[in-house]
Chain A
Amino acid sequence: MLSGMLIAMAVALITLYLTTASISGIRVSYSPWNLPYYEMRMGIYESIRAIKYYNYPTINEPSAIYEFYENMSKIYARHGYFLVVNATENKTFLNLYELNLTFKTDRVDLEVKKYVTKY
């Protein structure tokens, strides 16, 4: 009698535990979906890379960096992200650029300031 009741309660508890465990597992794996990690990482990577790419001797067109950044903002805007990148050449150390990146969405507000070498 009592054991039947105990087993029933145990079964109920185990079911509850297993269901919440499996759902929370999926919730956890689902949560990064809401944050644009890939887009943030790509923004920083492509901004740094543009400085090196357009300064490389075979291309050697540093002024193109700014147009690249403008167009990158347009492309990001089409996907719903606000991205503004700016790079200024350092006057003291000639092979250095100072990179300023702003990335915004409804949930993320990212500011990156970084020194990047030309080569």
Chain B
Amino acid sequence: MYTLEALIASLIIFGVVVFAMSSSPQFGTETKEFTALQLKKYADDILEILDLENEDHSSLLSSWVEKGVKSNNWVEFDTNFSYISESLRQNLSIMLHVEVISPNGDAKHSYGPPPPEGAVSSFRVVPVSSPPYAYEVRLYLWFV
């Protein structure tokens, strides 16, 4: 009687251990995806907030890009992204790299250290008042 009980109990415990072990590696990759999702959300939100419309339908981001592409003056763009970069690094341990790319794919300007392999990126299309009228701002984020 005792032997049978012990056998059943040990089978159940064995089953639980097998189940826990089989679920753990899967859990690890899911966490990695979750981190990527979190970074993507941060990147989306940063770009969305910087691109909120003013009264004349331009935005902070579009005015910085406009200054940069029109008179090659990227000071405002770099200064503001350095503030954002600094606060992300201090508060959330996130690093930032931002690029301004023309519609044909030529990189116009970039700020920040080159992004590593696993960096998550988001982009924003901003209007400017002279041809080619649209520029892509691409933001890469990754955890330190």
Interface residues of A in 51-81 (CB under 8 A from B): 52-54, 56, 58-59, 61, 64, 67-68, 70-72, 74-76, 78-79
A33 to B36, CA, bound (A): 9
Interface residues of B in 23-40 (CB under 8 A from A): 23, 26-27, 30-31, 33-34, 36-37, 40
Decide if A1 touches B2 in the complex (CB within 8 Å): yes
Decide if B125 touches A46 in the complex (CB within 8 Å): yes
Contacts of B34 in A (CB 8 A): 26, 29-30
**Distance to closest chain B CB from A16 (angstroms):** 7
**Distance to closest chain B CB from A22 (angstroms):** 8
Contacts of A64 in B (CB 8 A): 129, 131, 133
Decide if B124 touches A42 in the complex (CB within 8 Å): yes
Q: Does A5 lie at the interface of the complex (its beta carbon under 8 Å from any beta carbon of B)?
A: yes
Interface residues of A in 1-57 (CB under 8 A from B): 1-2, 4-5, 8-9, 11-12, 15-16, 19, 22-23, 26-27, 29-30, 32-33, 38, 42, 46, 49-50, 52-54, 56
The 8 A CB mask of B124-140 against A (1 = contact, 0 = none) is 11110101111010000
Contact residues on B (Cβ < 8 Å of other chain), bracket: 35 or more
A1 to B2, CA, bound (A): 8
Contacts of A72 in B (CB 8 A): 125, 134
Q: Does B13 lie at the interface of the complex (its beta carbon under 8 Å from any beta carbon of A)?
A: yes
Q: Does B44 lie at the interface of the complex (its beta carbon under 8 Å from any beta carbon of A)?
A: yes
A78 to B101, CA, bound (A): 11
Q: Does B49 lie at the interface of the complex (its beta carbon under 8 Å from any beta carbon of A)?
A: no
**Distance to closest chain B CB from A118 (angstroms):** 11
**Distance to closest chain B CB from A66 (angstroms):** 9
The 3 closest A-B pairs by CB, nearest first: A71-B103, A71-B134, A53-B57
A1-B2, A5-B8, A74-B104 are known; give 13 further A-B pairs, CB within 8 A. A4-B5, A12-B12, A12-B15, A15-B20, A26-B30, A30-B37, A46-B126, A52-B53, A53-B57, A61-B129, A64-B133, A71-B103, A71-B132
Chain A residues in the interface with B (C-beta under 8 A):
1-2, 4-5, 8-9, 11-12, 15-16, 19, 22-23, 26-27, 29-30, 32-33, 38, 42, 46, 49-50, 52-54, 56, 58-59, 61, 64, 67-68, 70-72, 74-76, 78-79
